[in-house]
Structure 1
């Protein structure tokens, strides 16, 4: 019926709409034979019907390029009806679908919404086009389209870096500005005869931009959830040369890549884009956010590339591929200058290069998510419509729940797609390329993710054969009985063939095995280019993300790899078309994906790394461009680095560093002026430099010639001094260089020397016998040591002028990866404090004021911590207790106290001065003479115990981070501390009828002491009451829970002892521990001990679960055991109940364990650190995968969640009834009977626990109860 109607409509329209190109009036009307009036009026895309009777509106849509009819719709209307109509459509009114009698004299044309832009000089703008010149910056352009849309170029002004990378996928750093030039053909007669192209980056305050290809970027305002057909006309900026063009749409979705355009020719590039909301995870501490896309973007980049014109037409919604994927498929930003091998690339993103021009994509993917994600999934899925495709590619981030968790998560995508008439594409994930996957003898790669492909394929085939109900049954079977049982069930469904319920709108495309096969082929090609004798794992590194000076990502492809992944997807889709007769399932899949294959860009080919790049060496090599780092200006053009006086007080030298970039221009010579003051603060005299600070030379200058304002002026005992560089002028004659008082200016911050009482470290890296060639190791010299699992180096280097060394330094570098690149690694570099004058070990305790100062030069990478630690050994290369002073992050930014405090520049030396004031609890950091930043240092601004208790090493550390930084002139020393003030501590009771509080002896409620003195507070509860908690300064937050506490008088404070009515015990307990009255420091004395890691046993506080205090046992070390002896064996003729709350947090290597026993426990090799082997009453074990068993039986106890465990122990049958529930009893994780391992047990005498090795492993417990079983009520 529908097809017949369409034929009738087409026939009628062919007679009623005689000429497709005729522009008809906005309103047309006719009188029918009965005198009725009919008309259609337009307001944008809303048509209002004026009709004296019911009618049918016929809406015909046409292709704007060739005028062919694309779509035909009809809708019953009446007078006043409003209908939405697409741009460029024609509207007719008929009396009925049977008579098809026209009620309008002529059809009504809906104007097309089009915007045309002519790129080039403003004097050659084609008719009907908006002018885009090299000065038309989007941020400043005041010219708008006729309907008020803003447009212009991105990246061409000094604020370009403020545009987020999520706009068009181009990463712009502060200081990066793209230079755009115009060009034209000999004769300009159309919009495509003149053009704009990027010719490079602008110099940045005198520093040249990195050479390479820079993009020309265009944006215009557009409507969210609208669709646009775009034509981009690309040509060569120099018309006598070929151009090599790459064009991106939206958030860097490629349309063409590196396509050659012959000299003088213009290429039309067409695509369809849609603007959709995207959920974006915050990076570098930023919060997640929703990007409501309202900008249409075009980017062109490549050798000699220019844009001559862009034409945009709003169109009806077209088929859209909605991508839900992780970091291997999502959108990424490109660095500048553009180089495909240095960018992250997503396989989903690169599909736009191959899909038909009438298909749009919306990539909703993001890094770090998996199929269970809801934030990204819910962001725009309401806009998925009929004829669309839902592309699902996950697997990498299902580390915790594996293929089963993935299988349980993927039905929602099909359910949504099916409900709106869209097709679901389940995609097997691309694989990693780590060392342990590669077989060099056969040049083959082992899959690490094919389990996800298997799960998706089975789910797809069960949908196609048995339908949604059977697919649900398959998932349920796999969930209850395991994947193998689920697959067996699926096989029975699939074997029966396609049923009437079978799905017709789903397809599985595997990228996993094709990706591995492609890596084999790519590696063989590289081997051939290299002329190598053997296959090498790093042969495919060119297709994975890497930047010059950094490492290669083991998981994420770059643009070249992503391009090949997208190409593989299309090839697999084509195979389905070619093999559709192979099986009924294949035919369904082929038909489902056919719209994406029909009309695909068949001439597009994937990126192949050139011989030039391969022959330049292993990736990343010298063919990769330098990574741009913003050159951030210093506040002053110079910094006084050092002032040296001789023992007799005469001035010897002043070192001044001239910066290349500063906020203040140094337009003249500078002069150093030193002011000496007497001990009472009065001025004693001035010292003037005779030699200038040269403003034309960057780097360190040493001034050694001086004169004094008075004869014999020296720095005497008790005197102080300051130094500063002023603007100078050469007065000539005897006066020579003087301060320019006519044009006064200051060229440096005031230098105020730190009076170091005693030196702790004085390191200038000057070691006898070293050549400072950059190849000599630092380790072993000057008490320096290097450690860590990554590839780490510490090398000695030097800078010289005229063959004279003027600076020695150490360069510390880490790849952040282990040697085989298989996983992330750690980096540590430490220097032990210099010995004291009496040859004793130098130790920094918990009080005092200290200077830590050094010169730093940023090279690459980031996330390097600078700190102090208590000592290092093989197991603790970063020390057991340490503090971080500051962090050098990416691009040289420096963070301290949780916030960015400044930056250091690449290839430039900056002075970082840090003052650690333990007494006042502050850290103060100053960089290159900028204003110092002071912040609270929580370790020392506490009322509790100060930690660390001692520091003996300077420490550099990094984890999972590639970094390269140079250090020179490192100093650590003790500073003079000002007298500390007095502080007053006051105590009070919340209710004197419930209890009292006092300091020291009863009756004392206030005490004034020296700052940071320790003060003991005591709370005594009256009968019938108990102490709830101590609270400080009127806060409702609990400070402590024990009756007696010792506080550090860091500030004046009032402590309130809060009492409450005592609650009677529920049972007559044999043993009961709530940890309410215990602290970390009192655990050992109360029997909670770990022979090898007592510091890992701590009392913590949990407000979220209302547990209050609890015991946690865990640390980032090798596995360690702990125990608690009850001091006796608890027994009862009625059996015992053992109850507790417990939480396991899984480790990454060894299991976590807990046991309660009767004194007969056995251990691996007799070592409690190695785990339990028998002799227990109740034994809970969590493997590194998170699975938890009870006496060997499987439970569903979740990882990292508190659960309640009740064990009823029968010492006659040696059975234990165990129930494990959530704290609110809403979920039961285990309910069953287990056997005691100790069949001779008569009662309970102690507990045992062990945490797993390395990262994250811990066992936490609370509310431990033991009582006779006859009292127990559920």
Structure 2
């Protein structure tokens, strides 16, 4: 019943005309107004047409689907957690990696924490030790789904010969007590037999082997970046989308800028084989497929990577060295299977039943390369900054396969009457290690001799560095050769850093308030050990001491190989010090000096050169090449005479870039007591090698 403002009942006669019968004529106008409002509200209540469900909702199929993505839960009867990996170092258990499989099961059992328990067994299967992971790394089950690590630091018993192990996860109380009983065992047993192929990509629970790009609750045409661990970086005019039919559409529409689509592995791979499997529908353009180490901002040119294969703009499929293998089929789905053996340094690529094999040169070499990764953590698809491309991708998987046990390898060094050789960590000339372990060797010439190089059993030189790190991927017999030193130069100071280490730099006069930024590097074919200074985002000084106990009162020459780069917000300075120079931490030098370079412009990631002012004279400058914020090797030669004249020659890339005769500044004493480099904020760097001070 409806009522008017005077509580008189209303009788609705017609919804369309709102005819109303009232008890009083004086209420007629008011009632008509009220009835008109009510008529709009109740219009259509009789004989109303049923709501029609649209065709796109019907075509989406049964739930869960795009429009109704509520998950359907099934009863789970497995263990709540699963152990994915156990890491042993020299036969000693260090940690395990585990993953939550069923979070609600932990809640039902009222298990607040989890720890790992390990039994070490002898060759007869008898338990000879039981160990528990540390309390400090216990897993808080309220963290929900995810992957976690548990650490063992009290396992001192090595696996016995032909021994084994059994590891599992057990409930742990708030009072740090083990929850006894099989009901509180929350994982299956992990044994050597548990080790199998590990699939490395896929964050979603229903993607355990390959990525089909059919994601629960994700609409067609959505960005791939941000789904299932995939991310796309680069400039504009690029895309990676999820398409109906279970594939990803990848396009780079501009001939400028970069394109990198990447996914990070669930765990890093340091050994064994990596197998990449994918279906590709190639249309056009340049594409490079890469396995790499993890970096904060991946791009197509960064170091520490292995190129799997490339497709050129002309549609040629090539190996990692650019050797053409075949024409890449266009506008059709093809299956590609790629395998990298990190231990033996080989690669294979199978396309349409045809298999091509080629070496991973960096992994084959016994001298570790700066650009060869020691661990792989990402799969990348890269475009070129000069090309467009278009392709589709589906059924992508990356797995780490089980490798047979690797053999041991032996390093043998041949001694010499003209010098001594040793394996650095044991002072011996022979050592047997696991295949691909790294071993540092050193050669020290006797007085009157210089080191010529390390030679293999075929008398081929493998390194000209006195101290070198080897990747022992085969049995090695090396000979150090020394030659008589015909140099009768009178050296006042000489340092090539071949006998110094990062830990001994400070004791030998190379000091900084940021000492951790001063290191010995050994990563160049043209230089042995050298000093590298990289204080990062702060202004810091590196001071080296040369001659402090004697006064030089005769003409001398100083030579060195060096490299310097400027900062992006504060000036950098390189100074050859005299006794009149004052050096304070993290600021410019004051007082007199022998020679100085001061940056005049700012560095950036794309900087190719830097203008340096000479001896604080704005009319005298030298332009030095640098690689972004990284220095480039340069040679400096100063001839200093007793009249305070300084003849300067600076050579870079085999070209003299500066030559002049100057004077020392505000100093009468020409003794070169050292050098100082002020790395201006931010990201200024320096490197030094082969420093010699000598008289004629």
Contact between 2:574 and 2:675, CA under 8 Å: does it hold in 1? no
SS of alignment partner, residue 891 of structure 1: coil
Distance apart, 1:1219 and its partner CA: 1.9
* TM alignment of 1:334-353, pairs within 5 A: none
Report if aligned partners of 1:813, 1:965 keep a CA contact under 8 Å in 2: no
Which of residues 575, 600, 607 is equivalent to 1:1155? 575
Partner of 1:784: 230
- Measured against aligned partners, the alpha-carbon deviations of 1:727-747 in whole angstroms (never above 9, x if no partner) come to xxxxxxxxxxxxxxxxxxxxx
**Partner of residue 1230, structure 1:** 659
CA distance in 2, matches of 1:1196, 1:1225: 15
- Cα distance change, pair 854–1225 in 1 and its aligned pair in 2 (3 A): closer
Match of 1:913 in 2: 337
> Which residues in structure 2 correspond to 1:1126-1165 (within 5 Å)?
1126=544, 1130=548, 1133-1134=551-552, 1139-1142=558-561, 1154-1157=574-577, 1160=582
How far, CA to CA, are the matches of 1:1114 and 1:859 in structure 2?
Answer: 47
CA contact (8 A) 2:544 2:675 kept: yes
User: Is it true that 1:1072 corresponds to 2:491 in the alignment?
Assistant: no
Cα distance in 2 between the residues matched to 1:987 and 1:1237: 53
The alignment covers a number of residue pairs equal to 468
Q: CA deviation at 1:856?
A: 1.9
Q: CA deviation at 1:809?
A: 1.8
State how far apart, in whole Å, the 2-side matches of 1:1001 and 1:1196 are. 44
Mapped pair 1:797 → 2:214: no
| 1:764 equivalent in alignment to 2:212 | yes
2:263 to 831, 835, 850: 831
Cα deviation code 1:427-476 (max 9, x no counterpart): xxxxxxxxxxxxxxxxxxxxxxxxxxxxxxxxxxxxxxxxxxxxxxxxxx
CA distance in 1, matches of 2:390, 2:533: 33
Question: Partner residue of 1:933?
Answer: 356
Shift in CA distance, 1038/760, structure 1 to aligned 2, threshold 3 Å: closer
Residues of 2 paired with 1:1208 and 1:1198: CA distance? 23
CA gap 1:861/1:905 in 2 versus in 1, 3 angstroms: same
Task: After superposition, give the CA deviation of every residue in 1:95-134 in whole Å (9 maximum; x if it has no partner).
Answer: xxxxxxxxxxxxxxxxxxxxxxxxxxxxxxxxxxxxxxxx
For 2:347, what is the secondary structure of its paired residue? Answer: strand
Secondary structure of the 1:940 match is helix
Q: Secondary structure at the match of 2:314?
A: helix
The alpha-carbon distance between structure 1 residues 1081 and 1042, as it changes in their structure 2 partners (threshold 3 A), is farther
Match runs of 1:1009-1020 below 5 Å:
1009-1015=433-439, 1017=441, 1019=443
Q: How large is the Cα RMSD of the aligned pairs?
A: 4.9
Q: TM-score, normalised by structure 2?
A: 0.55
Distance 2:589 2:225 in 1: 43
SS in 2 for 1:1232: strand
Distance 1:921 1:1091, change over 3 A: farther
Q: Which residue of 2 aligns with 1:813?
A: 252
In 2, the alpha carbon distance for the partners of 1:963 and 1:1092 equals 45
Taking the TM superposition and a 5 Å limit, the aligned residue runs for 1:547-566 are none
Equivalent in 399, 405, 411 of residue 979 of structure 1: 405
C-alpha contact (below 8 Å) 1:1028/1:1060 kept by paired residues: yes
Q: CA deviation at 1:969?
A: 1.6
Q: Tell me the CA shift for residue 893 of structure 1.
A: 2.3
Q: Secondary structure, in 3 states, of the residue corresponding to 2:197?
A: strand
CA deviation after TM superposition for structure 1 residue 816, in Å: 4.3
Show the 5 A alignment for 1:164-313.
Answer: none
- How far apart are residue 1073 of structure 1 and its match? 1.8
- 1:1051 and 2:474 equivalent? yes
Map 1:276-675; keep pairs closer than 5 Å.
Answer: none
1:583 matched residue in structure 2: none
Decide whether the 8 Å contact of 2:252 with 2:383 is kept in 1.
no
Distance between the aligned counterparts of 2:237 and 2:463, measured in 1?
A: 44
* Residues 1126 and 889 of structure 1, relative CA distance in 2, 3 Å threshold: same
Is contact 1:1162-1:1175 (8 Å) kept?
A: no
Tell me, in whole angstroms, the C-alpha distance in 1 between the residues paired with 2:426 and 2:533: 39
CA distance in 2, matches of 1:854, 1:1250: 47
Displacement, 1:959?
Answer: 4.6
Give 1:872's aligned residue.
295
Cα gap change, 1:872/1:1025 in structure 2, threshold over 3 Å: closer, same or farther? closer
Question: Contact 1:1161 / 1:1176 at 8 angstroms: preserved in 2?
Answer: no
Question: Residue 957 of structure 1 aligns with which residue?
Answer: 382
Mark the CA change 1:1034 to 1:827 in structure 2 (over 3 Å): closer, same or farther.
same
Per the TM alignment, residue 883 of structure 1 is displaced from its structure 2 partner at its CA by 2.9
Q: Describe the SS at the equivalent of 2:200.
A: strand
Instruction: Map 1:703-782 to 2 at 5 A.
Output: 757-761=197-201, 762-773=210-221, 776-782=222-228
Query: Relative to 1, partners in 2 of residues 1:1046 and 1:1144: Cα closer, same or farther, differing over 3 Å?
Result: closer
- Return the match for 1:1061 from 474, 479, 484: 484
Higher strand share goes to which structure? 2
Task: Tell me, in whole angstroms, the C-alpha distance in 2 between the residues paired with 1:771 and 1:977.
Answer: 40
Q: Deviations over 1:766-822 (max 9, x none)?
A: 22222223xx21121112222234543222223xxxxxx3x32242425242xxxxx
Q: Give per-residue Cα distances to partners, 1:604-626, cap 9 Å, x unaligned.
A: xxxxxxxxxxxxxxxxxxxxxxx
Compute the displacement of 1:878 (Å): 7.3
Aligned mate of 1:1031, from 452, 455, 469: 455
Q: How far apart, in 2, do the equivalents of 1:1121 and 1:933 lie?
A: 52
Q: 3-state DSSP class of the match of 2:661?
A: strand
Matches of 1:1054 and 1:1040 in 2, distance apart?
A: 16
CA–CA distance in structure 2, aligned partners of residues 795 and 778 of structure 1: 5
C-alpha distance in 2 between matches for 1:877 and 1:1092: 30
- Whether the aligned pair in 2 keeps the contact of 1:763 and 1:969 (CA below 8 Å) is yes
Shift of 1:1157: 4.3
What displacement does 1:1206 show? Answer: 0.5
Q: Distance in 2 between matches of 1:1121 and 1:1180?
A: 16
Taking structure 1 as reference, are residues 984 and 1239 closer, same or farther at Cα in structure 2, changes over 3 Å only?
same
Unpaired segments of 5 or more residues in structure 1? 1-754, 799-804, 818-824, 835-841, 1103-1107
Question: Is the alpha carbon distance of 1:1010 and 1:1241 closer, same or farther for their aligned partners in structure 2, counting shifts above 3 Å?
Answer: same
Q: Is structure 2 residue 282 aligned with structure 1 residue 858?
A: yes
Deviations 1:877-898 (A, max 9, x none): 9766333222232133222231
Alignment counterpart, residue 1100 of structure 1, candidates 514, 517, 524: 524
For the residue of structure 1 that corresponds to 2:358, the secondary structure is strand
Contact 1:866 1:955 in 2 (8 A): yes
Q: How far is the alpha carbon of 1:975 from its aligned partner?
A: 0.8
Greater relative CO, 1 or 2 (CA 8 Å, sep 6+): 2
Equivalent position SS for 1:763: coil
Shift of 1:1038: 4.7
Cα shift at 1:915 = 0.9
Any idea what the Cα deviations from partners look like across 1:686-733, whole Å, max 9, x if unmatched?
xxxxxxxxxxxxxxxxxxxxxxxxxxxxxxxxxxxxxxxxxxxxxxxx
Q: Give the one of 674, 683, 691 matched to 1:1264.
A: 691
Q: Deviations 1:1142-1198 (Å, cap 9, x if unpaired)? A: 4669999999864334775689xx6x8xxx697783323576556554223535777
